[in-house]
Amino acid sequence: MANDQDNLLKKVISHAKEYGFVFPSSEIYDGLSAVYDYGQNGVELKNNIKEYWWKFMTQMHDNIVGIDAAIFMHPTTWKASGHVDAFNDPMIDNKDSKKRYRADVLVEDAITKMEEKIEKEVDKAEKRFGESFDEKMFLQTNPRVLEYKKKIDEANDRLKNAMNNSDMEAMKQLIVDLEINDPISGTKNWTDVRQFNLMFSTEMGSIAEDANKIYLRPETAQGIFVNFLNVQKTGRMKIPFGIAQIGKAFRNEIVARQFIFRMREFEQMEMQYFVKPGTEMEAYEFWKAKRMKWHQALGLGSANYRFHDHLNLAHYANAACDIQFNFPMGFKELEGIHSRTDFDLKSHEKHSGKKLQYFDGESNQSYVPFVVETSVGLDRMFLSILSNSYKEEKVAGADGEEGGERVVLSIPPALAPYKIAVLPLVKKDGLPEKATDIFHELKVDFRCYYEDKDTIGRRYRRMDAIGTPYCVTIDHQTLQDNTVTIRERDSMKQERVEISTVGEKIQKLVSINELLKKI
Ligand code: ATP
């Protein structure tokens, strides 16, 4: 990780804690690794992200409905889904640093480094040849580039084979052959690679002999598959249709060092879309485009998102990609879009002995639908917004602003924890009373914050730090002509308006519905 980006992540983590967004879990006992609590501002941001997703997926698509399935499920669910046998990650330790890694991630990182080397060659050549540079030709003919490409293809093939065949010796050999060093100790002193199942288990039942081993769900999707017929029948759903769900998932991740990017308890927002076999590619392309639009409507910058196609498809998938976001650690997976064929429903049919089929009235035939799923991590959405909106700026002191540095979270207004801060300029002369009246009126429609302590400049700073997009300031003129100033967070521009127009003016700017209209 480049130093600047490393610093940005550190700053975001400490800001998130200082301003009540994210706390380490059970911090008074020194925390619990890769588990976090959301604070008073974090929970609001999180709820707003959920609302944005839920409304888009269900309200805006009349063939998608939601459910809320239990976290505990019958243990056979996880046999059928393949998680008991195959939800493993290959793990490896460096004997010098005593650090543990995911072996496949070490290889992927080494491949990324080789890809970056190709980019560097291109940059160098572009500078050398200027206008006449033909990138396509260069990539096809330059010996050094061809050498890297060959190495990359070989490494990708070997990784794919090792993963598909669960061949941990081959995985170790690949790490040796690629001469991968531990980023911490710098040595190649590795242990063997071992498979590690990521599911947490516990026991259900009061008497030890009766107790059944059950799992904390590692994904929300299976709650949807097992309810496919319940929802289809009771909702009289016609294919194609979708079932959406937001809920907790649990994974005993091997490496959990990147704040809320990789947690052991996290939340997913998933939708399974059931289609007629043979039409899944159309649905896959449709949802790729839709989900990308949903992300981009937030305004965090289109260049910060990209698709990444999966080269190593799971055995049941016939297409899969990620939407990656430019996190402080670089481009990483934010959402997965997978065409899962009829694997899950067929497997549940087999294990439960129940038919999970759709009767198509038009063709008079029953079939097991194919599934396209979209799966986005709520916590990763949260991190994408927080890290992208964290800004340090120099401010000239004027109009009540304090000069110097400010930290501002330019969170999309529709998702900000508070929409409006109501601030009397001073705590005297009847201004707090007037401001309180305005606060009570506005709080019916908006999440509002009232504060009358400290200078106005300091209060603006505190609102900037939690991302409040609008401050409504009540001053002596307000008492004479019923006007207030509205200060906008990012530009710090102020506008004087009639009190009665404040609500209407701000409503459009902070509404999730307005965001949805853009998609
Ligand atoms: P990764 O390769 O990063 O481990 P994955 O491919 O296993 O992720 P999926 O199983 O496709 O992830 O899960 C869907 C989404 O759930 C991911 O895109 C991500 O946003 C989120 N997610 C998965 N694992 C975690 C985790 N440990 N912490 C936070 N979010 C997660």
- What tens digit of pLDDT does each residue of 450-459 get? 999 999 999 9
Residue nearest to atom 16 of ligand 1 (CA): 377
Cα separation, 12 vs 45, in Å, equals 15
What distance separates the 2 farthest-apart alpha carbons in the chain? Answer: 81
CA distance 471 to 484: 10
The residue nearest atom 31 of ligand 1, judged by CA position, is 377
pLDDT above 70 (res 16): yes
Give the pLDDT confidence of 481-519 residue by residue, as tens digits.
999 999 999 999 999 999 999 999 999 999 999 999 999
- pLDDT tens digit sequence for 342-400: 999 999 999 999 999 999 988 899 999 999 999 999 999 999 999 999 999 999 877 88
Asked if pLDDT for residue 163 goes beyond 70, the answer is yes
| Torsion (CA) 61, 67, 68, 70 in degrees, nearest 10 | -140
pTM tops 0.85:
yes
The helix-helix angle for 3-18 and 378-389 (nearest 10°) equals 100
The token pair at 421 is 């801060």
Give residue 313's identity as a one-letter amino acid code: L
pLDDT at 303 over 90: yes
Please indicate whether residue 262, judged by its CB atom, sits closer than 6 Å to ligand 1: yes
Does the beta carbon of 336 lie inside 6 Å of ligand 1? yes
Task: Indicate whether residue 263 lines ligand 1 (CB < 6 A).
Answer: yes
263 contacts 256 by C-beta, under 8 angstroms: yes
pLDDT for 211 equals 65
CA of 65 to the centre of ligand 1 (A): 23
CA of 461 to the centre of ligand 1 (A): 35
Ligand 1 centre from 160 Cα, in Å? 19
pLDDT in the model for residue 2? 53
Domain limits, the chain = 2-74+198-385, 88-197, 401-517
Ligand 1, atom 23: nearest CA belongs to which residue? 377
Confirm or reject CATH 3.50.50.60 for domain 401-517, answering yes or no: no
Distance 377 CA to ligand 1 centre (A): 6
Give the residue, 209 or 109, on which the prediction is more confident. 109
Name which residue sits closest to atom 18 of ligand 1, judged by CA: 335
Quote the Cα angle for 497-499-500, to 5°: 110
Backbone region of residue 404 per phi and psi (left: phi > 0; alpha: psi in -120 to 50; beta: other values)? left
Residues 6+ apart with CB under 8 A from 318: 280, 281, 339, 341
Helix (H, G, I), strand (E, B) or coil at 134: coil
**Closest by alpha carbon to 109, among 199, 158, 36, 182?**
182
In whole angstroms, give the CA distance from residue 453 to residue 476.
Answer: 17
Q: Is the CB of 266 under 6 A from ligand 1?
A: yes
Taking the centre of ligand 1 as the mean of its atom positions, its distance from the CA of residue 491, in whole angstroms, is 36
Atom number in ligand 1 closest to CA 256: 27
User: Rounded to the nearest 5 degrees, what angle is found at the Cα of 43, between the Cα atoms of 38 and 47?
Assistant: 140
The per-residue pLDDT for 434 is: 97
Going by pLDDT thresholds of 50, 70 and 90, the confidence category of residue 59 is very high
pLDDT at 61 over 70: yes
CA 320 to centroid of ligand 1, rounded, Å: 14
Token pair for 127: 């500078």
Q: What residue type is assigned to position 182 of the chain?
A: D
Atom of ligand 1 nearest to the CA of 377: 20
Sort strands 201-204 and 212-215 into parallel, antiparallel or unpaired. Answer: antiparallel
Whether omega before 183 lies within 30 degrees of 0, making that bond cis, reads no
Q: Which residue has the tokens 């497997």?
A: 347
- Residue 500, classified by CB atoms within 10 Å of its CB into exposed (0-12), middle (13-18) or buried (19+), is exposed
Q: Tell me how far the alpha carbon of residue 504 lies from the centroid of ligand 1, in angstroms.
A: 40
The per-residue pLDDT for range 388-446, each reduced to its tens digit, is 999 999 998 778 888 899 999 999 999 999 999 999 999 999 999 999 999 999 999 99
- Atom 9, ligand 1: which residue's CA is nearest? 336
Contact of 337 with 13, CB cutoff 8 Å: no
Task: Give pLDDT, residue 402.
Answer: 86
pLDDT of 165 reads 87
User: Can you state the angle between helices 143-164 and 168-177, rounded to 10 degrees?
Assistant: 160
pLDDT tens for 75-113 read: 999 999 999 998 999 999 999 999 999 999 999 999 999
Cα 201 to chain centroid distance, Å, stands at 25
Q: How far is the CA of 194 from the centre of ligand 1 (A)?
A: 21
The CATH classification number of 2-74+198-385 equals 3.30.930.10
Q: Is the pLDDT of residue 1 over 60?
A: no
Give the position, in ligand 1's atom list, of the atom nearest the Cα of 333.
Answer: 18
Per residue in 230-267, pLDDT (tens digit) is: 999 999 999 999 999 999 999 999 887 789 999 999 99
CATH number listed for the domain at residues 88-197: 3.30.40.230
